[in-house]
């Protein structure tokens, strides 16, 4: 049992190191799109969850799933701490709020084939926080707008 606990602690330390590296890379990036790409690419190393997309302002950005207007409305109705959301084909999905120093920015929506362990859900929450704080300030202008 002691060996399992030690292995678990080592795994958690590895994940915290990965979050630190992610935070540094996001801080060094001045490009909002790059910050979102960093968040999406980090998910695979932090757990079984994946980022479905980001709602920033009125625009869906990045991610792996097309998002509906219905989901956008559901996100706006969530409490400020986020909450569960329906993603077709996913047994578990959660919307984590993204905030900047200036206030709320939107949500990072994640999904998985099963409920991730609490530790992995915490890591997803931290990625959402870092993504908001590190510079995703607005939806990029649409071409031709």
pTM recorded for the entire structure: 0.80
Nearest to 26 by CA among 142, 122, 110, 127: 127
pLDDT band at 142 (very low <50, low <70, confident <90, very high): very low
User: Do 19 and 122 form a contact (C-beta atoms < 8 A)?
Assistant: no
What is the per-residue pLDDT for 85?
95
pLDDT given for residue 141 in this prediction: 40
Domains defined for the chain, CATH in brackets: 2-133 (3.30.450.40)
Asked if residue 7 has pLDDT above 80, the reply is no
Q: Give the model's confidence band at 25: pLDDT under 50 very low, under 70 low, under 90 confident, else very high.
A: confident
pLDDT digits (tens, 9 = 90+) for 32-61: 888 888 889 888 888 899 999 999 887 888
Distance CA 141, CA 75 (A): 22
Name the 3-class secondary structure at 20. helix
- Tell me, what's the pLDDT at 112? 95
Closest among 96, 97, 78, 89 to 114, alpha carbons compared: 89
């Amino acid at each position: 049992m002691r060996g399992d606990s030690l292995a678990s602690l080592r795994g958690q330390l590895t994940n915290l190191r990965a979050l630190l590296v992610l935070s540094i890379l996001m801080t060094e990036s001045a490009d909002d799109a790059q910050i979102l790409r960093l968040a999406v690419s980090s998910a695979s190393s932090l757990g079984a969850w994946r980022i479905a997309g980001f709602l920033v302002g009125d625009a869906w950005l990045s991610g792996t799933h097309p998002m509906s207007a219905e989901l956008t409305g559901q996100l706006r109705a969530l409490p400020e701490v986020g909450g569960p959301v329906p993603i077709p084909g996913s047994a578990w999905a959660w919307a984590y709020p993204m905030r900047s120093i200036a206030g709320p920015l939107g949500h990072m929506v994640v999904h998985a084939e099963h409920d991730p362990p609490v530790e992995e859900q915490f890591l997803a929450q931290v990625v959402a926080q870092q993504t908001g704080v590190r510079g995703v300030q607005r939806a990029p202008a649409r071409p031709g707008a």
